[in-house]
A = this chain, B = another copy of it.
Amino acid sequence: MTAATSDEGAAVPVTIRDVARASGVHISTVSRTFSAPHLVNPETRVRVLACAEDLGYRPNRAARALITGRTHNIGLIIADIANPFFPPLIKAAESQARHRDYHVFVADTNEDPTAEEELVHALAKQVDGVLLCSPRMSNSLIEQLSREVPLVVVNRQVTGLPCVLMDVGQGARAAIEHLVGLGHTRIALLGGPRSSWTNREMRRAAATAARAGGAELTLLGPNAPTETGGSAVAEQVRRSGVSAVLAYNDLMAIGLIEGLDALGVRVPQEVSVVGVDDIALSRLTRPKLTTVATPTAAAGRTAVDMLLQQDTESPRGTRGLGAGTALGVRRTTAQVMLQTDLVIRDSTGPGPQARPARPLAASLGPDPHCPAGPGTATAATGDAVAS
């Protein structure tokens, strides 16, 4: 209703000055009306607010950020938005941020380390901090970038920086033990991206667990952490003669099952498959996927909390300090490890030892084993465990 809401197409930018003029006060009073209302007379306040509403005034967040050093934005950099692993993390981060009056900007790097670096630079001055999820760049580069903007790293351990980790080592161990318990003695590990911390952790833990269980572990990879990455190695899996596979993530596991199916190899009758992540999709495929559930939502929430905490500790561009902390004392660098849980569904079954003769196995019926019914194990609780 009125002046500025005329139907001109182009946006006429209305500033604090226009509001000041319209309501007959100084611009500083208008500013305070928005950023410190208790400091201004209630009468004046309503008048200013009315004028602002009338003119369609919105504080310019860029200008505000310039002087306060606070944008109230968080950057969220992820490797691949098409990977269903990330959306729950993103949503949890967003909701947590919203509670604290922050907004989240998501950016996708297409698994490209160069894009990662560039995006951190681009975001640096437009956000108060960046969440780096499953980064593909080097630790040293991450450390270097952390001097430009506060960083919280997810799914990667960087000394000196706050990290949110998921205990995929424990998950891989549980998966291998599950497979060994089913009678599998030759197991393959489908590796993910070479630069992935998760990948290394899984490999280490799986190797230890296999050795302890007396099973032989074959390493296949690195591979693209996608469905096609999984289906591409189906032939290799078949030739390798293993009876069970632990895949880097659910997407690869699903792709592998598809690929094996195309080769006439049946899951879980001939080969058992375990994934990691417990994405929504893993409950929709046939067979339903046995997988290591990772607490993605909890990770998103925790990461935001850590960033905002670190952020409020050093307000206003951190002018003063710096010299005092020269000798590596740095800021708080808590690292949080979240627990994972093995969810047993239908893609794993008895190994060669425990199995009857081959031809029979193929016609066992729709529900070949199911130790405790599909989807019994609960999703990860995501309890935080400081380390």
What is A's interface to B at a CB cutoff of 8 Å? 5-13, 56, 58, 60-63, 65-66, 71, 73, 81-82, 84, 87-88, 90-91, 94-95, 103-108, 110, 119, 121-122, 124-126, 144, 147-150, 160, 227, 254, 258, 280-281, 284-286, 314, 317-318, 321-323, 325-326, 328-331
Cross-chain contact of A90 among B65, B81, B149 (Cβ < 8 A) = B81
A124 to B60, alpha carbons, bound, how many Å? 8
Within the complex, what minimum Cβ distance (angstroms) separates A255 from chain B? Answer: 8
Closest B residue to A327 by CB, please name it.
Answer: B7
**A125-B61 contact given A81-B106, A103-B107, A331-B9, CB 8 Å threshold:** yes
Within the complex, what minimum Cβ distance (angstroms) separates A215 from chain B? Answer: 29
A103 to B124, alpha carbons, bound, how many Å? 13
Q: Is the CB of B63 within 8 A of A91?
A: no
Cross-chain contact of A331 among B10, B103, B150 (Cβ < 8 A) = B10
Which residues of chain B have C-beta atoms less than 8 A from A326's C-beta? 6-8
Within the complex, what minimum Cβ distance (angstroms) separates A219 from chain B? Answer: 26
Q: Is the CB of A73 within 8 A of B126?
A: yes
5 contacts between A and B (CB under 8 A): A7-B328, A8-B147, A8-B325, A56-B147, A227-B284
A124 to B56, alpha carbons, bound, how many Å? 13
Which residues of chain B have C-beta atoms less than 8 A from A61's C-beta? 122, 124-126
Cross-chain contact of A104 among B66, B107, B144, B150 (Cβ < 8 A) = B107
**A9-B325 contact given A82-B87, A285-B284, CB 8 Å threshold:** yes
Q: Is the CB of A107 within 8 A of B108?
A: no
Cross-chain contact of A11 among B12, B106, B149 (Cβ < 8 A) = B149
Q: Is the CB of A322 within 8 A of B105?
A: no
Cross-chain contact of A148 among B56, B126, B317, B330 (Cβ < 8 A) = B56
Q: Is the CB of B65 within 8 A of A91?
A: no
A125 to B103, alpha carbons, bound, how many Å? 14
A72 to B182, alpha carbons, bound, how many Å? 56
A110 to B62, alpha carbons, bound, how many Å? 26
A94 to B62, alpha carbons, bound, how many Å? 22
A254 to B105, alpha carbons, bound, how many Å? 30
**A63-B60 contact given A82-B87, A90-B108, A107-B105, CB 8 Å threshold:** no
A281 to B226, alpha carbons, bound, how many Å? 12
